Every structure is written in structure tokens, then in C-alpha cells.
Chains A and B, each alone.
Chain A
Amino acid sequence: MDITGLTVDALHAAYAARETTATEVCTAVLDRIEAENPQLNAFITVTRESALAQAARVDEALAAGESLKPLAGVPVALKDNQCLKGVLTTCASKILGNFVPPYTATAVAKLAEAGAIFVGKANMDEFAMGSSTENSSFGPARNPWNQDCVPGGSSGGSAAAVAADLCVLATGSDTGGSIRQPASLCGVVGLKPTYGRVSRYGLVAFGSSLDQIGPFGKTTRDVARMLGVLAGHDVHDATSAQVPVPDYLAALDGNVKGLRIGVPKEAMGEGLDPQVKAAVEQALRNYAELGAEIVETTLPNSGYAIPDYYIIATAEASANLARFDGVRFGFRVEGAKTLHEMYQKTRDLGFGTEVKRRIMLGTYTLSSGYYDAYYLKAQKVRTLLRRDFERAFESCDVLLTPTAPTPAFKLGEKTDDPLQMYLSDIYTVTLNMAGVPGLSVPCGLSTEGLPIGMQLIAPHFAESRLLNTAFAYEQAHPFPKRKLS
């Protein structure tokens, strides 16, 4: 039995049958990280000692006959923008390169309470800004299916770690596609919950009206289980919703008979790789065979989503990142003679190019004389994007699109052309703009052997429907496991 490749269900069955222990599983996973991380660079920090201590506590509880908590003994990777008290949390940035948070994020605390074992902090694009994990000041992460390719981003380390069995589950954060796009490129399941579903307390902020924390897993069931742990109201996050958390696992019956699946015609047109298109069309036929009703629909304003998103997200980022100034935490440049010189030099040396580019764009669109033309205009267009979803959901239960326009691309292919990189998010950003949940589930392999994902979209707080729709497909069409290198 390869204990590093198990799902939570299989792991818990093995624990219950006393076939293995949390310490054995955790050690095997940590050894695999040690062997594979030098190539994949999926982790910035590996927390071997504390992970083994957590595993020992799980084994003690098991030996004492306690029942298994939902994530007991499950190795989990945390995206490195989520605070874990006493453990380096860098956001893959030089400016936070020495930051050791004095508190733990609510989502992370909930995972710990559920028995999860934290094996490390996952690599990412600096401050979650990017679609390839190449914008990391700790070097790029690589795609386990083909190491010449990117794992996607910004949660690329998390997705790569799950795909390469360097953990069983991982957290990500998603501001414009940063969970779903890497899930698609790495052949794993990733879910961006409804805005407000999961607390962001202790998540380093990027775009506050867009950011959500969410789960990555090898299967929809694992993702459903993890969402159940993460979700819920938190007094520390004023945007977290007071909406009851359903039993996501209980909702998985695999029945999609009569489910109306809408396909926005804009998502299947120009700019879509023919292999991705073919895989998504095949999945639609498979859904029809399972009894779902396929409906053509429209999101008429989706062609404006990318410019609209990049105005809103960069504006919010420029405000959020003003706090990194060398005064209270993180990197400070030596030898500056005045406070202002210290700010400017610290920020210039502390931030990477993409982060600076976005701070510049956001500062520009918020600056005097341009606010109405750009930011206010973008907020109005955002209303139109939200209305597109409201109309589409009048005649459909879920929507289905590709997750990303292409399979994984090569490292370096888009780094000099920010606009091309931004277009990787073309199918994902609209969900963050409207606040609705989305999930990427693998639906095929390209002729080059790279994973292809499809995105399912549901109305606010309908994650159960989303998960069950993915589960039905996954049961009928299991995704091939990556051959280990």
C-alpha cells in the first residue's frame, strides 16, 4: 500500500483498521517531500518537527479509543499567505521573508482542531498575484505532470503538492482563479467557496472584495469534507456570512438526473485551446448520459471581465499593500536617512516586479482625476457581471465552462507579457466579481499528457450542488492517477 497517495476516506479506513498510524503516514509524506521538493519547489517551509508532534497526538487519541475527527491524521499543506502562529509566513515575498505571525488564521485553526497535520507552507505567486507561481521570490514551483511546465497559480505550490502526493489536502486562496486554475493545470480538485463562506482572518489580504480561502484535494469527497471544516461564521472577519453550514459529504449522492447544466456560449468560443474544448464537450455528453439536461446560456458581459477584474483587484491591492513599509514587520532596508526614503527603498527592494506593477496600476486608477473613469466605472460593470449570473441561474442549476483556456504552459512562456498572463484567468475571474462559488474538476488529458479541468459554477452558498455535480462525473469517469516520476 502506498500510504502517501491515499484519500482521506482510505486513510481513515486504514487508521480504523490499525493498518497504519498517523506517524507512519506523516513520516512517509515528509520523506517524499524531502525527495521531490528540490525539483518541484512546492513548499517554501517544511514543518517536519511540529508535523510529527501533531501526528503523535493523533496516534495517542486513536490508541485511547477516541473516534476519528474529520481530518484526523491527514497531512495538509497550507498556502504561505495563511498565518500559522510561530511558523514563517512569507507570501512568497522578500518583504515578508522573515515574518513569523503571532497568531493563527481562523481557517488554519479549524483544520488543526479537526485533527489535520500541517506538513508545510506551500509556494505561491508573491502576494497571490500571478497565474503560474513564477512570481515567487523563492523560485518557481513546477508541474508534477511535466516539470518544464508551470503548475498554474497563484496557489501553484498547493496544487502541485496535492498532485505529487506531498500532502493529501491543501489550502489555497482564490482572488481571480488562484485555486481553480492551478487545480485544472495539476489534475486535482479545487474549490473557491462563496464570498463570505470561509473566514479570511489571518489570510494576507490581496483584493478584499474578492479573496476567498478554499480547499484542494485528490477527490471531490475530500474537498467536500475539507470545506465542511473550513466553512462557517467568524467574529474576526466582518465579511464572513452567518449562513448555516450544510453537511457537504451527505449531499454527495451522485444523482444529476434532471439537473440543468448551462453552458455559456461565450466560454466555448475564441481563445479556447481545441483540446480543452473537446474535453469539455465530451464531459457535457457524459453529463447528458447521466441524465442531466444541457442548456445553452449566455453571460453577455463576460468579455469585459478581465479588464474589469484587473481594475478592481489592483486598486484593492494597492491599498492593502500600503501596510508593507518596513515599520512594524518584515524586511526593512538598511541605512535610509529619512522615514520616507526608508519606505520607498524598502518597498522597491522588498516587492517583486508583478507586485509593483499591480500597485502602480491600482494607484493610477485610484488617483485624483481617474477614479471615476476607471474604478467607479469598473464597479458599475461589476454589477453587470453579477446580473449576468443572476439571469443565467433563472434557467440553469449550475453552469459549466473550461477552467483555463489551455493546459499547463511552459515556464517563461508568458512572463514578459503581463496581459497574456492575465488572460489565463478569463473563465475564473467573473465568479470572484459576483461572489459565487466555483469548482474545478479534472475532465481529461491533452495529447501531451497534461491535465484539463472543467469549472462548475453555482449560485451563492450552493456548494453542495456544485460538489454533487462534480462527484457524479468523477464516479462515472475516474481521472487517471499521475504516473510517479
Chain B
Amino acid sequence: MEITKKTVEKIAALASLELTEEEKERFTGQMDAIVHYFDKLNELNTDEVEPMSHSNLGDDPTASQREDVLIPSLGTEAALSNAPQPGAGHFKVPRVL
């Protein structure tokens, strides 16, 4: 699959990245080369192979769950301590619409 500047612009929008013109040009060539390299996997026949999504092999998927009891959480003050713009116990953002 060929990566064009148009693909890069579409992906940048999906990733919420405003790329500069220079970045768009540079990423077009580099992503094209890297994605072609990814295509090497097509040499392998994986029709009968199960996908592997994690490496906790053989573990009971619920083994690490704790008892459902209430424990203290971070609290509003600590959670807001790094906020660029806190206000009235919330995170403030520019207008949405």
C-alpha cells in the first residue's frame, strides 16, 4: 500500500496531530518505506495461526483481580495538581463547539 501525502494528512487528523508541511513531506517517504517493510510479514502463511494479544501465558485471566472492596483513590486535589487549567474542581478546556 503506497503512502501518499493525502494518507499522511488523513492519519494525522485521526491521531489529533497538526503536522507542519515539512513533517508531512518527511513522514510520507519514511512511512512508505516502513510500511513496505511491514509487508514482509505477508511471506508467512498464518491462516491456521491464532493471534496473540498478550504474553501472560496460561494465566487465569482473572487471577490478578482483587477483591471488590472500596479503597481510597487519588482525590480531586491531587488529580488536579498537574492540570494546565483547573477550575471549580474540574479540568477547564477551550470551547468544544
Chain A residues within 8 Å of B, Cβ to Cβ: 98-100, 102-103, 195-196, 209-210, 233, 235, 237-242, 301, 304, 306-308, 310-311, 318, 322, 325-332, 336-345, 347-348, 351, 353, 356-357, 359-361, 363-365, 367, 370, 373-374, 376-384, 386, 418-419, 433-435, 460
User: Is B2 interfacial (CB-CB < 8 Å)?
Assistant: no
Contact A102/B85 with A361-B34, A419-B37, A435-B56 known, Cβ cut-off 8 Å: no
B55 CB to nearest chain A CB (Å):
3
Contact A348/B18 with A238-B65, A357-B27 known, Cβ cut-off 8 Å: yes
The complex places the Cα of A253 from the Cα of B95 at a distance, in Å, of: 65
The answer to whether A304 touches B44, judged by C-beta atoms less than 8 angstroms apart, is yes
Residues of chain B from 45 to 84 with CB closer than 8 A to chain A in the complex: 46, 49-57, 59, 63-66, 74, 78-79, 81-84
| 7 A-B pairs whose Cβ atoms sit less than 8 Å apart in the complex | A304-B40, A311-B41, A330-B84, A336-B94, A370-B1, A383-B49, A433-B55
Note all chain B residues with C-beta closer than 8 A to A99: 82
The answer to whether A301 touches B44, judged by C-beta atoms less than 8 angstroms apart, is yes
The complex places the Cα of A357 from the Cα of B31 at a distance, in Å, of: 8
A199 CB to nearest chain B CB (Å):
10
The answer to whether A347 touches B16, judged by C-beta atoms less than 8 angstroms apart, is yes
The complex places the Cα of A255 from the Cα of B26 at a distance, in Å, of: 53
Residues of chain B from 1 to 35 with CB closer than 8 A to chain A in the complex: 1, 3, 7-8, 11-12, 14-20, 23, 27, 30-31, 33-35
Note all chain A residues with C-beta closer than 8 A to B88: none
Which A residue's beta carbon lies closest to that of B56?
A196
Contact A239/B44 with A338-B96, A386-B52 known, Cβ cut-off 8 Å: no
Contact A359/B94 with A100-B81, A241-B56, A381-B44 known, Cβ cut-off 8 Å: no
A361 CB to nearest chain B CB (Å):
6
B97 CB to nearest chain A CB (Å):
8
The answer to whether B14 touches A363, judged by C-beta atoms less than 8 angstroms apart, is yes
The complex places the Cα of A325 from the Cα of B78 at a distance, in Å, of: 19
Which B residue's beta carbon lies closest to that of A432?
B55
The 10 closest A-B pairs by CB, nearest first: A435-B55, A379-B51, A329-B82, A344-B18, A332-B84, A380-B46, A102-B78, A363-B15, A383-B52, A380-B49
The number of chain B residues touching the other chain, given as a range, is 35 or more
Contact of A363 among B11, B30, B42, B53 (CB under 8 A): B11
Contact of A384 among B46, B66, B81, B84 (CB under 8 A): B46
Note all chain B residues with C-beta closer than 8 A to A237: 64
Contact of A344 among B8, B17, B52, B66 (CB under 8 A): B17
The answer to whether B52 touches A328, judged by C-beta atoms less than 8 angstroms apart, is no
The answer to whether B17 touches A348, judged by C-beta atoms less than 8 angstroms apart, is yes
The answer to whether A103 touches B31, judged by C-beta atoms less than 8 angstroms apart, is no
The complex places the Cα of A130 from the Cα of B3 at a distance, in Å, of: 23
Note all chain B residues with C-beta closer than 8 A to A209: 53-55
The complex places the Cα of A435 from the Cα of B74 at a distance, in Å, of: 31
Contact A345/B37 with A332-B85, A381-B46 known, Cβ cut-off 8 Å: no
B94 CB to nearest chain A CB (Å):
5
Of the candidates A351, A360, A373, the one having the most CB atoms from chain B within 10 angstroms of its own CB is A360
The answer to whether A102 touches B40, judged by C-beta atoms less than 8 angstroms apart, is no
The answer to whether B55 touches A348, judged by C-beta atoms less than 8 angstroms apart, is no
Taking A100-B81, A241-B56, A348-B18 as given, write out 10 further A-B residue pairs in contact, using a Cβ cutoff of 8 Å, ordered by the A residue number.
Answer: A102-B74, A102-B81, A327-B84, A338-B94, A338-B95, A357-B27, A360-B12, A379-B53, A386-B52, A433-B55
The answer to whether B27 touches A360, judged by C-beta atoms less than 8 angstroms apart, is yes
Contact A307/B37 with A195-B55, A329-B83 known, Cβ cut-off 8 Å: yes
The complex places the Cα of A195 from the Cα of B54 at a distance, in Å, of: 9
The complex places the Cα of A196 from the Cα of B54 at a distance, in Å, of: 11
